[in-house]
Structure formats: structure tokens, C-alpha cells
Amino acid sequence: MEDTHQTHQEKAEVILDIPVNENKLREELSFYTELAAIFKEYDKDTTQLDFVISHLQEQIEEYNEGRAVLPDRKEIEMVIRNHPYFKNPCDYPIRLLTVLKYLRRKGINMNYTDIDLYVDAILSAMDGVKKVGRGLYMAVK
């Protein structure tokens, strides 16, 4: 008797919904590049990973070339005004780096070329804020 049982190899797909963290585009790009290399090592299809990688590379190029739309100036100013330092000013200055970290914690996308210069211009133009040094600001009453 012949074995009439045939093995059918079905194509199974696994779809993963992995959100891209736009605050860490370079790290995301590195992750997907390494994942694609592993897929290629095991002869897996990488077309979808290649699409994600090219999309991330385009976003990074936009940021580097300055074509990306900068965050809303009024929104950033509103978030800065809610910082405890600006709510209760004191005798010592606040650093630009402190403000940038605060903005990141509050969900403002900071992946822009020269975002520090953009925030510096916003701080310098705010009423009640005086620039007292390189990257140092005082809230005046």
C-alpha cells in the first residue's frame, strides 16, 4: 500500500504590532536593523522590516535636514510655565538642560536637530524670563 498522506506546508504568518518610539528613532532603527539581520540569517522574509527601516531612515533624514515640523511653540511655552521653577521662582538660575529634560518627561518630542536652540529662543522670548548666561535663565518677578 502506498502512503497517500501528503505533507502540505502552509505558509503561516505572524503579525506583530510593535509601536515605534518616536523619541528614540536612532535606537529603534538600530533594533530593526539587527532584527532584519537575524531574519536574513535564518532565511526569513524581511520585506516588512525593510519597509520599517526605510521609514525610520527617512524620519531621521528629515530631522537632520531640518525639514521636520517643529513642535508647537505655544505648547512648549505652556509646559515650561508649568515647571515648578517658573511657578515659584527663586534666587538661582535654571539650566537649559533641566528644561529640555522636563519637556521630554512631559511628552514633547525632542528628536530634532538643534532643539536646544529652539527652546533657548522660546525661553529668551518669554515674559518674566531673563537669560543670565550661556544656558542659564532666571525667572524675574
Residue 135, phi-psi category: left (phi > 0), alpha (psi -120 to 50), beta (remainder): left
Residue 36 is part of which domain span? 22-65
pLDDT digits (tens, 9 = 90+) for 79-132: 999 999 888 888 888 999 999 999 999 988 887 767 888 899 999 889 888 899
Residues 135 and 79 in one domain: yes
The Cα 58–Cα 81 span in angstroms is 33
What local confidence, expressed as pLDDT, does residue 87 receive? Answer: 85
Residues 79 and 116 in one domain: yes
Residue 29 covered by a domain: yes
Residues 42 and 78 in one domain: no
- Beta strand ranges found along 62-113 (DSSP E): 94-95
Q: Domain holding 108: CATH number?
A: 1.10.10
Residues 78 and 126 in one domain: yes
What local confidence, expressed as pLDDT, does residue 113 receive? Answer: 67
pLDDT digits (tens, 9 = 90+) for 44-91: 888 888 888 888 888 777 766 666 567 788 889 999 999 998 888 888
pTM: 0.53
Residues 107 and 85 in one domain: yes
Residue 126 covered by a domain: yes
Residues 54 and 99 in one domain: no
Residues 47 and 91 in one domain: no
Asked if pLDDT for residue 4 goes beyond 90, the answer is no
Asked if pLDDT for residue 2 goes beyond 60, the answer is no
Overall number of domains in the chain: 2
Identity (one letter) of the amino acid at 28? E
The Cα 50–Cα 70 span in angstroms is 27
Residues 97 and 55 in one domain: no
